[in-house]
């Protein structure tokens, strides 16, 4: 029994080290006005998260990519389209290849406070649960924008070959592929899957040890 415990403990240690080297790394959401605004309400700047890099990202994943305009910086967004996908945007809503992405009611807190990326002023927004690629996540949208945009012309995009299209969870102040363009597949190597703790630190139970979808 003693030898088994030693061997098993050694196996777990080696497995954790290999996993850390090959598949997982820690990452702090950058303190950048546009970027930190665009990942709300799912994340905030200063959050300590884990990135998974062993498998290719799928539609619906929240991914970290190199900024196509300056690859020394990162961008973060929801992967909603790959090469040749057809996307349609109408207000806060998105359709992928003709199928509108569903919403599943409001978040636990139906109204969230966002911060304007330019002047830092507080803006209230609706928080709803959206489903993309089988993943249910938070999204923020302007008050009443479903009614305002229902008769507007949609924005239509055909994703180019060998690229990814990212969308912000914050639809009020988005900073995504509509701003900086589509991203080469090879520049999106990692996805966010777990938050160790939030910007308020380990003692904040609301953001500690949470899976990110």
> What pLDDT is attached to residue 63?
97
Q: Is the pLDDT of residue 102 over 50?
A: yes
Average pLDDT over residues 52-57: 89
pTM of the model: 0.86
> What pLDDT is attached to residue 183?
97
Q: What's the full length of the chain, in residues?
A: 213
Please state, rounded to an integer, the average pLDDT across all residues of the chain.
87
Per-residue pLDDT of 149-198, as tens digits, reads 555 688 999 999 899 999 999 999 999 999 999 999 999 999 999 999 99
Burial category of 172 from C-beta neighbours within 10 Å (exposed 0-12, middle 13-18, buried 19 and up): buried
CA distance 31 to 22: 27
Q: Bin 13: left if φ > 0, else alpha if -120 < ψ < 50, else beta.
A: alpha
> What pLDDT is attached to residue 153?
80
Average pLDDT over residues 133-143: 93
- Weakest mean pLDDT among 90-94, 126-130, 149-153, 192-196: 149-153
Among residues 42, 78, 73, 40, the alpha carbon closest in space to that of 57 is found at: 78
Q: What confidence tier does 13 reach under pLDDT thresholds 50, 70, 90?
A: very low
Q: Is the pLDDT of residue 96 over 90?
A: yes
> What pLDDT is attached to residue 23?
80
- Weakest mean pLDDT among 92-101, 137-146, 155-164, 204-213: 137-146
> What pLDDT is attached to residue 14?
46
CATH 3.40.50.300 fits 25-211, yes or no: no
Instruction: Break the chain into its structural domains and give their ranges.
Output: 25-211
> What pLDDT is attached to residue 148?
46
> What pLDDT is attached to residue 154?
86
Average pLDDT over residues 38-44: 95
Structure tokens given for 12: 């777990």
One-character DSSP codes across 39-103: TTTT--TT-EEEEE-SS---TT-EEEEE-TT-TTSEEEEEEEEETT-EEEEETTEEEETTEEPPE
Q: What confidence tier does 146 reach under pLDDT thresholds 50, 70, 90?
A: low
Average pLDDT over residues 65-77: 95
Average pLDDT over residues 131-135: 93
């Amino acid at each position: 029994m003693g030898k088994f415990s030693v061997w098993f403990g050694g196996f777990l240690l080696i497995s954790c080290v290999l996993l850390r080297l090959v598949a997982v790394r820690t990452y702090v959401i950058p303190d950048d006005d546009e970027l930190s605004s665009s990942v709300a309400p799912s994340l905030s700047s200063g959050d300590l998260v884990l990135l998974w890099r062993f498998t290719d990202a799928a539609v619906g994943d929240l991914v970290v990519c190199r900024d196509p305009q300056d690859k020394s910086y990162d961008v973060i967004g929801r992967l909603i389209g790959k090469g040749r996908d057809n996307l349609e945007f109408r207000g806060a809503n998105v359709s992928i290849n003709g199928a509108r992405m569903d919403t599943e009611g409001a978040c636990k807190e139906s109204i969230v406070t966002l911060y304007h990326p330019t002047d830092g002023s507080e803006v209230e927004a609706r928080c709803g649960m959206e489903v993309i690629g089988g993943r249910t996540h938070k999204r923020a949208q302007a008050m009443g924008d479903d009614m305002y945009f229902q008769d507007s012309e949609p924005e239509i995009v055909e994703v180019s070959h060998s690229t990814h299209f990212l969308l912000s969870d914050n639809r009020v102040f988005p900073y995504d592929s509509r701003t900086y363009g589509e991203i080469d597949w090879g520049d999106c190597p990692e996805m966010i899957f777990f938050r160790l703790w939030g910007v308020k630190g380990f003692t904040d139970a609301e953001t500690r040890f949470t899976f990110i979808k």
